[in-house]
Chain A
């Protein structure tokens, strides 16, 4: 009672000093919490962008195909697999694809790339290819339709309706076969790699040209992205000796490692700010203690135990910490609200190969915010231990020195 009364009144004795300390604590919390939410948001956006694009949320291949892609290595027992995918209730859609390296040529130029054979409707249920068209239309009926990336179109100097000749090597005998297509659509992912190397045609047309009777790859989209991270979900039972079924984390380990490292940026920002806050609290408390030496001398002379002086100063630290953290949480709320609803526009900047084509929506992880707030409070309280210890060791005899 007495301790908290003394602590509280001393805190508000020098309002400017207290305010500055509170400002430092609260703005540090704002920075830490914002960094955390922003990093999570960036990662989330990156993951969404990558899983919405060609990769999908998961893929199925014949085991070994990913290590050494080969047109001969199609997925066995596809109809069997398809019926399992159709009945799996955590799956929203899947898109079987034939995939092959190919030579693309126009009347003017020639370049290498990858050709994908897709069933347009199935592909649309899994990836955002259709949304990325900037010219023309998505694959419809015509067997000679192809949609190509914007960079590829530029490279081959072609546009809608132009001829697009694909040369590829057939399965089995490896004989070259040439197929003529006409550009029906041009897409742009704002990702140089995708935009300059990919072309999509109808699945059946490509399967016939390659002479394969199954897909090389099946891209899968779940009912929710979390399922991809849940190894206990029954959907993974599809994975077997003949079907390698992997979530995006394993398909794109580089994105996964950015994700794992993203926690580090919050940690670094927190550690720097924790140190800053700790030193500033120690400094401010010492300043205030030096001004109050005589008072402590008097309190001690009156019979106050050293541990009560210690407790009083620790309480001052804890209260300042709590007020600073509370102020920080109040200040960060509108910022988070804005960032989590409107989002932060970052358009067309590439982060680790993923174009940030949509605003970053801050991801607020409440338990994490609580953890960061509590740790900051703890840092402030801990920082006051040292000055508190100093004050509790003062000798009561100072009370008798003439007041300065």
Chain B
């Protein structure tokens, strides 16, 4: 199987001299297509920073990040925008959605950027709304949805454009545990049905259970990599 993600000795440092923080430090990580992987570690261990690197949201201080066979560490910010649009779906911890857009419009957003026809957009949004169990709520603004519903809209938005990779940074951190498990269940089902690669971070041990592979970070370095 081919690697969707490959980092080559990637580091991201913040500040300098006394204030230098090596948020991630020479990380080598390969993630294959279709994986459902959790990145865990204590607070400040670099989980978000690593996800930023493999999500092409930020450029590394050193090292390379290869996504779907392309070296994203060498891309311009405009190339990165297009690359993220076409290849990566994101789910963040909270307040993921554009507040002035309805659930449907949020889900449509990336497809609009991609220039997908209206007919196709409607079809795909209807389909995914059903998969995430939000039929009938597509007209609501994020402020009119519960936290769990907002996260499901975010997952739907991340998936609807059929990216090869979905990155989720603590997607359940703002949800109660029951809603969190339901979200993970849903993500895993989608992962199995659509063979999309999922990488998510968490420090909730029960949430980790859903992963098939667990990568543990401490102080910006991978200290454990367990396959179940």
Q: Which residues of A contact B (CB under 8 A)?
A: 1-2, 5-6, 9-10, 13, 294-295, 298-308, 395-397, 399-403
Contacts and interface: CB of A to CB of B under 8 A. Distances in A.
B144 to A, nearest CB: 14
A9 to B, nearest CB: 4
A304 B81 contact: yes
A401 B170 CA distance: 11
Contact of B101 (A6, A399, A401): A6
Given A298-B98, A301-B90, 11 more contacts: A10-B100, A13-B99, A294-B95, A299-B109, A302-B90, A303-B113, A304-B81, A396-B57, A397-B52, A399-B57, A399-B92
B84 interface: yes
A403 B77 CA distance: 24
B86 interface: yes
Contacts of A302: 84-85, 90, 109-110, 113, 157
A291 to B, nearest CB: 10
Contacts of A402: 93-94
B55 interface: yes
Nearest to B55: A301
10 contacts: A5-B101, A294-B95, A298-B95, A300-B81, A301-B92, A302-B113, A303-B84, A304-B85, A306-B78, A397-B52
Contacts of A5: 101, 105
A305 B85 CA distance: 9
Interface string B85-115: 1101010111111111100010001101100
B92 A298 contact: yes
Contacts of A306: 77-78, 81
A299 B84 CA distance: 11
Contacts of B101: 5-6, 9
A305 B57 contact: no
B130 interface: no
A380 to B, nearest CB: 21
B81 A13 contact: no
Contacts of B98: 6, 295, 298-299
A312 to B, nearest CB: 11
A230 B52 CA distance: 72
B51 interface: yes
A305 B82 CA distance: 7
B169 interface: yes
Contacts of A304: 81, 85, 113
B58 interface: yes
B107 to A, nearest CB: 11
Nearest to A2: B112
Nearest to A6: B100
Nearest to B110: A302
B37 interface: no
A298 B90 CA distance: 9
B85 A303 contact: yes
A9 B99 CA distance: 10
Contact of A303 (B82, B97, B99): B82
Contacts of B77: 306
A394 B84 CA distance: 16
Contacts of A298: 90, 92, 95-98
